[in-house]
Amino acid sequence: MNARYAGDRTTGFASPASDSVEGPIDLSQTLDLANPSRYPVRVRGATFAARGILDGDILIADTAGSPQAGQLVIAWASGRVLLAELQKRGNAWWLVSGDNTHPPLEVDPARDVEIWANVASVVREKA
């Protein structure tokens, strides 16, 4: 296999497409991976299966921007790295479990609970 043939340089009949070669789609652009605020992270656990996030999936975390209610976020809580849904109650932000197996956890840097990044995209590798 010669990886350099891209639909252009044919040997017999000249390819009518030789000026129109665009190459395969680059998903790292779609996922904006060169952006300094984007960090891929690996999912462990399945409490967010109902939202289509499975064990082993790759999330593209984005550390820019501000918190939004309903967003999935990656948070640091007393030494643990958690994936949770962000909710606002009154003036406070809360981390909510994906299947209600854990009680909501208030975001409060003073108590060592803080948001690390938003979740921007989900990627599943081929099985």
Residue numbers of the site for another protein (CB under 8 A)? 35-37, 39-48, 53, 55, 58-59, 63-64, 74-84, 95-98, 102, 105, 112, 116
Question: Smallest distance from the beta carbon of 5 to another protein, in angstroms?
Answer: 15
How open is the CA angle 118-120-126, to the nearest 5 degrees? 130
Contacts of 106 (CB under 8 A, 6+ apart): 92, 93, 94, 95, 113
At position 30, the amino acid (one-letter code) is T
Residues making up the chain, counted from first to last: 127
Cβ proximity to another protein, 21 vs 54, nearer residue: 54
Cβ proximity to another protein, 36 vs 90, nearer residue: 36
Question: Smallest distance from the beta carbon of 24 to another protein, in angstroms?
Answer: 15
Cβ proximity to another protein, 5 vs 14, nearer residue: 5
Cβ proximity to another protein, 105 vs 120, nearer residue: 105
Asked if residues 69 and 91 have their Cβ atoms less than 8 Å apart, the reply is no
